[in-house]
Amino acid sequence: MLFVGINPGVRSALTNHHFAGPSNRFWKLLHESGLVPEPMTYADDDRLPDWGLGVTNMVPRQTPGIDALRTEEYVAGLHLLRKKVRKWKPVVVAFVGVTLYRFVSGVRPGIAITTGPQPDRFEGAQVFVLPNPSGRNANYSYAEMLAAFAALAQFAALRDARIE
């Protein structure tokens, strides 16, 4: 499974680790949902492959927020992301954020996107949308975020059971 964020924040760029902002709940959600068997922090992101997980960003440039990103960065980032997914061949691509998925899938603003599994594929991978766990995301409560991450864990477990 590959988690895809939009771009690194300032703290992530300074530490060279994903989801490193002090208010980012990604790592706590990863553990509490059952996606990883033990508590982790951003400093442990290199251990994700131990559990068949990976993480990347669509846009490599760090910014304090996504408002600073330009459309051409999204377009170039999408091209690079498609190459990464074709190379690594994850079974599931989990887009971390509705805004990111909206751009990738071409869903127009105003059309609702729900978190969870999506009917489309991304370079052959199944698609799952998660809420952005940033502390800046006021659209989802922690309980709603945890439910979405737990749904991903269940989705992955069911998919793995079908393969075996």
Q: What digits encode the pLDDT tens for the residues 64-116?
A: 667 777 889 888 999 999 999 999 999 999 999 998 999 999 998 889 999 99
pLDDT over threshold 50, residue 139: yes
The closest alpha carbon to 6, from 91, 89, 102, 90, belongs to: 102
The pLDDT assigned to 159 comes to: 65
The pLDDT assigned to 18 comes to: 85
106, 96 Cβ separation under 8 angstroms: no
The pLDDT assigned to 164 comes to: 47
pTM exceeds 0.85 = yes
Mean pLDDT along residues 28-51: 96
Measure CA of the first residue to CA of the last residue in the chain; give whole Å: 17
pLDDT over threshold 90, residue 9: no
Number of domains in the chain: 1
Q: What is the CATH number of the domain that holds 140?
A: 3.40.470.10
Angle at CA 22, nearest 5°, toward 153 and 144? 35
Q: Is 13 exposed, middle or buried (0-12, 13-18, 19+ CB in 10 A)?
A: middle
Structural domain of residue 97, as residue ranges? 2-163
Q: Which residue has the higher pLDDT, 138 or 24?
A: 24
| Region of poorest pLDDT, from 13-22, 89-98, 122-131 | 13-22
The pLDDT assigned to 160 comes to: 61
Long-range contacts for 67-71 (Cβ within 8 Å, ≥24 apart)?
A: 69/6, 69/7
Q: Which residue has the higher pLDDT, 60 or 103?
A: 103
The pLDDT assigned to 65 comes to: 66
